[in-house]
Chain A
Amino acid sequence: KAGVTQTPRYLIKTRGQQVTLSCSPISGHRSVSWYQQTPGQGLQFLFEYFSETQRNKGNFPGRFSGRQFSNSRSEMNVSTLELGDSALYLCASSTTGDTEAFFGQGTRLTVV
C-alpha cells in the first residue's frame, strides 16, 4: 500500500511569489491535514480537509489556503511568500480524521 506522497520534495521561491504544494493521501483515506514545521515554532497545524470540506483551520494568515479534490488529493497554496514561510510542510492522511494519521516526507520550501 503506497504511503502519503508529497510533491515536490524541495522548492526554492522568491519573496512575493506564490507556491502550490501537493499531497496524495493513502488510498481510502478521506482526511488530509497540513502542518508547518520550523525550528522555532515546531509543528503547527494549518488545516484539515475531509471529503472536499475544510473542517478545521489553524492560526495562520489568509495567505495560506488549501483545497481537496474528489479523489482526496489535496493542495495547499501560499501567496505572497515571506522569508518566514520557509519551512518543512507536512501532509498527513487518515481514514476519518480522528484516527492515527500517516505523514508524508514533506516539502521543504525555502523562500529567498
Chain B
Amino acid sequence: AQSVTQPDIHITVSEGASLELRCNYSYGATPYLFWYVQSPGQGLQLLLKYFSGDTLVQGIKGFEAEFKRSQSSFNLRKPSVHWSDAAEYFCAVGPTSGTYKYIFGTGTRLKVLA
C-alpha cells in the first residue's frame, strides 16, 4: 500500500540554524513527490516537487529536497531557518496517472526560536 511517513511530529530549531525534515514513502513505482507548507488556518502551499531527473530539487523560500531511491526518502532541507518558516510541513506522493490523489504524511510542525 502507498504510504508516507514523517517521523518527526515536532521540530524546534533556532533562527539561523539548518533544518532537515524527514520523509519516507512506500510506493510501487517511482513516485511523484511533493513538499507543502501550511501556516495556521491556511491552505497548503507547494514548496517543491520531484517528478524525475536531477534528484536534488530546489524550491521556493530557499528550500531544497533530495530524492534517494535506495532509502525511499525525500528529505527537505534549508541551510538557514528564518522565524517566518514556522509552520507545518507535509510530504506527499502522487498524484500519478490513474490515481489522481495525493497521499500525505502526518506533517511536521516546525517551531523557530528567536
A residues with CB within 8 A of B:
4, 6, 31, 33, 35, 42-43, 45, 48, 50, 55-56, 58, 90, 92, 94, 97-98, 100-106, 108
Contacts and interface: CB of A to CB of B under 8 A. Distances in A.
B101 interface: yes
9 contacts: A42-B107, A43-B102, A48-B100, A90-B44, A94-B95, A97-B100, A98-B32, A105-B43, A108-B41
A106 B43 CA distance: 6
Interface in B76-107: 90, 95-97, 99-107
Interface of A is mostly: strand
Contacts of A102: 46
A43 B95 contact: no
Contacts of B36: 103
Contacts of B100: 31, 33, 48, 50, 55-56, 97-98
